Copies of this chain bind each other. A is one copy, B any other.
Amino acid sequence: MTNGIYIGDAARQSGVKVPTIRYYEQIGLLRSPLRSDSNRRFYDTADLRRLAFIRHARELGFDIEAIRALLTLQDNPSQSCATADGIAKARLIEVDQRIRSLLALKAELEVMIEECRHGRVADCKVIEVLADHGECQHHHK
């Protein structure tokens, strides 16, 4: 068909699962596509690009509302770019934060594993480390 592809192919080509595509349509992130005579959705290349955009942004950790904002900007390209910039900067701060705490966690897990010498649980540091830490440090986010 030259009018487009079915949802299954759109899913395969975009890397977004079929129910997720329908979900995005439902919440208004994706326009309602054309339908075949038998009511099947048809997607074109513009839809595929939009899906790829969404998927990538989700992978980068943008939440749906941020993506909605970015897509709105994309649909109205004469606006200022400051909003998009702001969204990206907010994400950068979050990401930095998460990297830092994951690195701390990694160090902690390595200690746990290193000290656990396959003895009995009574001697196992994995559990000890987890139990102790909560009492000595309180670095709530």
Residues of A within 8 A of B (CB): 14-15, 49, 51-53, 55-57, 59-61, 70, 73-74, 76-82, 84-85, 87-89, 91-92, 95-96, 98-99, 101-103, 105-106, 108-110, 112-113, 116, 118-124, 126-127, 130-131, 133-135, 138, 140
Inter-chain contact A121/B79, CB cutoff 8 Å: yes
Inter-chain contact A99/B92, CB cutoff 8 Å: no
Q: A52-B135, A92-B113 are in contact. Are A122 and B85 (CB under 8 A)?
A: no
Inter-chain contact A98/B102, CB cutoff 8 Å: yes
Inter-chain contact B56/A130, CB cutoff 8 Å: yes
CB neighbours (8 Å) of A89 from chain B are 113
Inter-chain contact B52/A131, CB cutoff 8 Å: yes
CB neighbours (8 Å) of A73 from chain B are 121, 124, 127
The 4 closest A-B pairs by CB, nearest first: A52-B134, A81-B124, A84-B126, A56-B134
